[in-house]
Amino acid sequence: MLVTGATGTGKTYLACAFAHQACRKGHRAIYRRAARLFSELVLARADGTYARVLAKLARADVLVIDDFAMTPITDNERRDLFEVLDDRHGSRSTIISSQVPPKRFHDYINEPTHADAICDRLIHGAHKLVLKGPSRRDPKEPATK
């Protein structure tokens, strides 16, 4: 599932609500902001637990990757993202929330071979939710319109 929209439109809230519902039905879910996920994988590679962390991510019934594409992606992060998505593709659910629309993911990944492979696993067959409207955090704007 891809949940996209402007800041404050409820992307994280909605992604977490889907993960929470999965947990209520007995499934396991993991939530990570993209930056933290990549940091966790760097540390795992350094301390020798990389394969174990990848396996844990692969086993989760639902993986939420929040704030995807907020900062430039490095070569190692590109490779790690591919590994995570490839392990889950076709067998587990992944929810991505991003301010960047899916049509710009290829440009964000910025390396044609990995971009094709990652976008193929992320975009094709995904349910896409585009959230619009004002920020739900802005106290001057009513929460419902």
Over the chain (145 residues), the average pLDDT of each successive run of 10 is: 96 98 98 98 98 98 98 96 97 97 96 96 94 83 53
Gap between the Cα atoms of 96 and 39, Å rounded: 17
pLDDT of residue 136: 87
What 3-state DSSP class applies to 142?
A: coil
Please report, to the nearest 10 degrees, the dihedral formed by the alpha carbons of residues 109, 5, 29, 36 taken in order: 50
pTM exceeds 0.75: yes
Gap between the Cα atoms of 98 and 37, Å rounded: 15
pLDDT of residue 145: 47
How is residue 73 written in tokens? 């992606």
Q: How many CB atoms lie within 10 A of CB 19?
A: 22
Q: Can you list the domains of the chain with their CATH numbers?
A: 2-131 (3.40.50.300)
Please report, to the nearest 10 degrees, the dihedral formed by the alpha carbons of residues 76, 77, 79, 82 taken in order: 170
